[in-house]
Chain A
């Protein structure tokens, strides 16, 4: 199975600052079509996860442009610009390159 490893944030992050969440995969997530099969989700307390980005850097419908995904085949970053209180929660990366699908362990973002 592909192992997804997420970094830790130095919480809390002051409102208005930027935050970068990292994720590493044990195998390249680049498929033969050239796309990188990496999703980012945000789960706010008491809610279902929300898809933020797919194919590593494509924002899901309705997601603020303050969220941007980037990376290589095995190292990924989700940058959140000008963080706001509503951005608080746990962020998960997920590889959908191959089955079985796997999630990272989550990175908690707290806002000050």
Chain B
């Protein structure tokens, strides 16, 4: 059974760095790519970053300078780091595998 689960802080101070982890089970990270997608409250979906099955990385054009995606295949985990957080980064953050499978999301609030 395929599962993805996001973990990370629910509250981050402005200007700080957000670190999120997506832990997958039921498939290998060397078989399927994983993306991060976010959704501000009451708004639409925004693709943030992806890491392919081969380990190549891709980023949202606007957020690119603030993002880093990586993985640990032995632990079946994908990591997302976003720096210089602002209030507009407040959102539900999802990870998705091959687009078929999604985690439940983690709500991150940026506030002092």
Contacts and interface: CB of A to CB of B under 8 A. Distances in A.
Interface in B47-61: 47, 50, 58-61
Nearest to B47: A101
B45 interface: yes
B44 interface: yes
A49 B87 CA distance: 24
Given A39-B99, A48-B103, A101 B50 contact: yes
Interface in B12-40: 35, 37
A43 B92 CA distance: 13
Nearest to B52: A99
Contact of A106 (B45, B58, B59, B96): B45
Interface string B78-112: 00000000000000001010011011110000000
A57 B29 CA distance: 26
Interface of A: 1, 39, 41, 43, 48-51, 54, 60-61, 90, 92, 94, 96, 99-106
Given A94-B47, A101-B47, A106-B45, 4 more contacts: A50-B102, A90-B44, A96-B99, A106-B44
